[in-house]
Amino acid sequence: MNDTLLSIRNLHAGVDDKPILRGIDFDIGRGEVHAIMGPNGSGKSTLSHVLAGRPGYTISEGSITYDGKDLLEMEVEDRARAGLFLALQYPVEIPGVNNVYLLKAGLNALRKHRGEPEVDAYEFLKLAREKLKALDLDDSFLNRGVNEGFSGGEKKRNEILQMLLFEPQLALLDETDSGLDIDAMKIVADGVNSLRGAERSIILVTHYQRLLDYIKPDVVHVLMNGRFVKSGDASLAKMLEERGYDWLRAEAA
Amino acid sequence: MSEATAFASILPQAAGDGFARIRREAREQFLARGWPTRRNESYKYTDLSALERKSWPRAEKPAAAFDLPDALGTRSVWVDGYLDEAAGDARVTSLQACAASPPAALAGLLGTLAPQDDSVVALNTTLFDYGAWIDLPDDAAPGDPLELVYSAGDRQTPAANHGRLALQMGRNSRLVLIEHHLGGPAETLNTRVAEIALASGAQLLHIRLNEAGEGTRLLGHTTVRAGAGASYRCLNLDLGARLSREAFMVNLVEDEASATLSGLALLDGKRHADADVRVVHDALHTRSRQAFRGVLDGRSRSVYSGRVVVRPDAQKTDSGQESANLLLSPRAEADTRPQLEIYADDVICNHGAATGAIDPDALFYLQSRGIDADAARRMIAYGFAARVLAGLDNADLHHRLSTLLAMRMQVPQEVLEWL
């Protein structure tokens, strides 16, 4: 069995002619939690989007292997069905499409792919209510339009709700902590921690160290100017909190 | 030979019934005007010239009743203009039955609200030979909706039918009225003129549900006169027909009258739907809202003209118009024309319009949750379309119309089972 779930080699990607990622190498094993930190504009969100397959990016070089498969050859929905989940920094509002449609259609698409029986309305509601409770969300959350009129905190919790229901193999959280007050962040962190397990890998993309007080990473990577410039254990995040990124800029140059 | 005189040879003499005088006048009007052409500003985007080249005889009595969907309320059914007594479960007063000597209330309404200088109205007034006369007493509030079904018959040759609706609602009465166009592929021309008078405090929910077959052309005109505090709510759903044009003229003639008109054109192929709305504010504190949407596939086309007229005495008018279109195909077209004519100074009038394709971010978001692209598109389009039902407070109708839209749009099971 291959212990590496995701492996990125020499990845170059950008928007139009503007290069953003300039040679990314990255590996994460099953059951590991990695944090990717970096200043604004370092390429963190681009990396998350390229992994999820968001349109609009040009991949000029490199490869991504996920669970033994060529990720770049897979459609967006196939990546999701293979267990890759991206919690977006800016979740999209879809007016008139009830949250429950997305949750149930998504869950059943995944279950079908895994060869598991689809859940019926009763089973789904039971499951969804359990997860809503864990996130301190009201049942009415299911019948609102997807992210429509949600507060920033509600949008982030909706992402975590989906993650808890879908139980991904690789959860990618793009700045999920931004815009959250401390109570909301604890709820989100508890949700993420409840998913930790030997078969599941988690990548936390974050600008600030404070989320890592609640979700302890195995490895911390620093992304600057489209490349990883340093990796270390959780203490690296502490050091960044105290010293900022400038010392690494000097080191990377 | 001019267009009008060419048509005169096939426009029969008006029937000699209790409406003989208005029929004669209408016939003169039609002969003078002919079919509306695209030079007529309000028919700019709807070409009726193909109608003129065909002859449209009245249908012979259809042999068999059409296969109808479940009733949406107390139902009356006309097939090719013939009352189908077996298919209906209760009956409104048939215009045919009272045309020979119309009651005074009917005579005082029919032909008095609809504009005589409109060609479709003139043609219909000349030729109408079926329809409903509804005289709702003060404070009456029938529990069930009233459904009038206008269906095309199952036949091979082209045929026309010309229906009329006269509705008078007494003070503080309430009614849900559904006009439901149905039918198969037969070549059909249907004209339908509705004249609706709402006494003070009356509340009407008027649903026009067009599920006509692909050979059908619908030309309709609805005029509403709303008295003090009366409320006209209209839901205009164009899901069928080859061509549909419905004009709504709503006159808010007394203080605090209100009108809310919502519409959806859900079209594919080469279908064409035109909603031409004119709301006239002619009294204090009157309120109107218009919200029209299109979801357009193939080479279909929707037209929405929304005109708001605020007369000099209509201070404190509050009006809003919005239109939004979702184009599912690069060859579909939406034409939107909001127009304001304001002659009072203390008023609020808003309007907005937007047309676009499916939001790629929304599509990505659903796909990234494992939903395939086709299902995701259908979900997004359904969410967009179903918005027109948001104000429908009759739970049963809301459910049935949502389901109808969802089935039509082939949404995934997850959406259907949750409606």
Separation in Å, CA of A88 to nearest CA in chain B: 9
Under 8 Å between Cβ of B162 and B123:
yes
Chain B: give the shortest CA distance to residue A53, in Å.
8
Residue B71 lies in a domain: yes
pLDDT at B17: 84
Provide, rounded to the nearest whole percent, the portion of chain B with pLDDT above 90: 76
Same domain, B246 and B376: no
How do residues B90-112 score in pLDDT, each as one tens digit?
668 888 888 888 999 999 999 99
**Residue B371 to residue A105, Cβ atoms within 8 A:** yes
**Residue A242 to residue A70: CA distance in whole angstroms:** 39
Using alpha carbons, select from B127, B158, B117 the residue that is nearest to residue B23. B127
Instruction: Collect all residues of chain A within an 8 Å Cβ-Cβ radius of residue B418.
Output: 98, 100-101, 104, 121
CB-based contact B115:B194 (threshold 8 Å): no
Mean pLDDT (whole number) for B285-302: 97
Nearest to A95 among B375, B387, B418 (CB): B387
**B237 and B367 housed in the same domain:** no
Average pLDDT, chain B: 91
Count Cβ atoms within 10 A of the Cβ of residue A246 and give its class: 0-12 exposed, 13-18 middle, 19 or more buried.
exposed
B322 part of contact set with chain A, CB < 8 Å: no
The 3-state DSSP class for residue B415 equals helix
Q: What is the side-by-side order of every strand in the sheet holding B272-281? A: B93-94, B130-136, B159-169, B188-198, B216-226, B243-252, B272-281, B301-310, B333-342
For the segment B200-229, the average pLDDT, to the nearest whole number, is 97
Helices then strands, counting H and E runs in chain A, come out as 8, 12
Last residue of a domain, one of B254, B271, B288: B254
pLDDT bracket for residue B266 (50, 70, 90): very high
B5 has pLDDT over 60: no
Q: Report how far residue B358's alpha carbon sits from residue B381's, in angstroms, rounded to the nearest whole number.
A: 8
CA-based nearest residue in chain B for residue A83: B370
The CB-side HSE value for A201 (13 A sphere, CA atoms) comes to 19
**Are the C-beta atoms of residues B418 and A121 closer than 8 Å to each other?**
yes
Contact A88 B387 (CB under 8 A): no
| Interchain contact A221–B (C-beta under 8 A) | no
Neighbours of A117 (CB within 10 A): 9
A14 to chain B nearest CA, in Å?
18
Distance from C-alpha of A21 to C-alpha of A61, rounded to nearest angstrom: 10
Q: What is the pLDDT of residues A35-93, one digit of tens each?
A: 999 998 999 999 999 999 999 999 999 999 999 999 999 999 999 999 999 999 999 99
DSSP state of A127: H
**Exposed/middle/buried for residue A18 (C-beta within 10 Å: 0-12, 13-18, 19+):** exposed
User: Chain A within 8 Å of B419 (Cβ-Cβ)?
Assistant: no
Do B290 and B264 contact (CB within 8 A), yes or no?
no
pLDDT value, residue B287 = 97
Q: Are both B74 and B195 inside the same structural domain?
A: yes
Q: At what angle do helices A99-113 and B360-367 cross, to 10 degrees?
A: 50
Among B286, B166, B312, residue whose Cα is nearest residue B228: B286
Query: For testing the chain B interface, which of A51, A77, A98, A142 should be mutated: the one with the most B CBs within 10 Å?
Result: A77
Residue B254 forms beta bridges with which residues?
none
pLDDT of residue B416: 84
Nearest to A105 among B359, B364, B414 (CB): B414
Q: Would residue B329 count as lying in a domain? A: no
- Which pLDDT score, from 0 to 100, does residue A1 have? 42
Q: Which residue has the higher pLDDT, B282 or B63?
A: B282
Spell out which residues of chain A touch residue B414, defining contact as CB-CB under 8 Å.
100-101, 104-105, 108
- Give the pLDDT score at B64: 67
Cα(A31)–Cα(A39) distance, rounded to whole angstroms? 27
Which chain B residues have a beta carbon less than 8 Å from that of A97?
A: 362, 366, 379-380, 382-383
**pLDDT attached to residue A190:** 93
Contact state of B370 with A100 under an 8 Å Cβ cutoff: no
Which residues does chain B have within 8 Å of residue A53's beta carbon, measured at their own beta carbons? 364, 367-368
Contact yes or no for B72/B40 (Cβ under 8 A): no
Is residue B280 situated within a structural domain?
A: no
The full length of chain A comes to: 253
Q: Does B195 lie in the same domain as B58?
A: yes
Tell me the residue type at A134.
A
Cβ-defined contact of A97 to B379 (cutoff 8 Å): yes
What does the H/E/C string look like for B228-256? CCCEEEEEEEECCCCEEEEEEEEEECCCC
Chain B contacts in chain A segment 6-65 (CB below 8 A): 52-55
Q: How confident is the model at residue B1, as a pLDDT?
A: 34
**DSSP-derived 3-state class of residue B403:** helix
Statement: residue B10 has pLDDT above 90: no
pLDDT of B8 above 80: no
pLDDT value at residue B11: 60
B366 with B217, same domain: the answer is: no
Q: Are B21 and B111 in contact (CB under 8 A)?
A: no
pLDDT at B269: 96
Minimal CA separation from A22 to chain B, in Å: 25
The count of structural domains within chain B is 2
User: Nearest CA of chain B to the CA of A120: how many Å?
Assistant: 9
Reported as a single tens digit per residue, the pLDDT across B221-256 is 999 999 999 999 999 999 999 999 999 999 999 999
User: What pLDDT, on a 0 to 100 scale, did the predictor assign at position B98?
Assistant: 85
Residue A51's contacts (CB-CB under 8 Å, 6 or more residues apart) are A6, A64, A71, A79, A84, A86, A172
Residues B364-373: tens digit of each pLDDT: 999 999 999 9
Among the three residues B254, B284, B300, which one is the final residue of a domain in this structure?
Answer: B254
Q: What is the mean pLDDT of residues B322-327?
A: 96
CA angle, corner B161, sides to B179 and B134, nearest 5? 40
Sign of the alpha-carbon torsion through A34, A40, A42, A48: positive
Please tell me the predicted confidence (pLDDT) of residue B6. Answer: 43
Size of interface A-B (CB pairs under 8 A): 102
The confidence score (pLDDT) of residue B410 equals: 93
Domain range for B146: 3-254
Asked if A95 and B415 come within 8 Å (Cβ–Cβ), the reply is: no
B272 in a domain, yes or no?
no
Shared domain for B124 and B245, answered yes or no, is yes
What tens digit of pLDDT does each residue of B108-147 get?
A: 999 999 999 999 999 999 999 899 999 999 999 999 999 9
Per-residue pLDDT of chain A (253 residues; tens, 9 = 90+): 458 999 999 999 999 989 999 999 999 999 999 999 999 899 999 999 999 999 999 999 999 999 999 999 999 999 999 999 999 999 999 998 999 999 999 999 999 999 999 999 899 999 999 999 988 888 989 989 999 999 988 999 999 999 999 999 999 999 998 888 898 899 989 999 999 998 899 999 998 888 999 999 999 999 999 999 999 999 999 998 888 888 888 776 5
Residue that terminates a domain, selected from B254, B288, B312: B254
**Residue B61, pLDDT above cutoff 80:** no
- Does the structure show a pLDDT above 70 at B385? yes
Residues A203 and A220: their CA atoms lie apart, in Å, by: 10
Establish if B62 belongs to a structural domain.
Answer: yes
Residue B9 has pLDDT above 60, yes or no: no
Domain membership flag for residue B109? yes
Per-residue pLDDT at B160 exceeds 80: yes
Q: Residue B3: which pLDDT band, with cuts at 50, 70 and 90?
A: very low
CA angle B246, B250, B256 (to 5 degrees): 150
Specify if B140 maps to a domain: yes
Is the residue at B37 inside a domain? Answer: yes
CA-CA distance, A71 to A26, in Å (whole number)? 14
**C-alpha distance from A150 to closest chain B C-alpha (Å):** 15
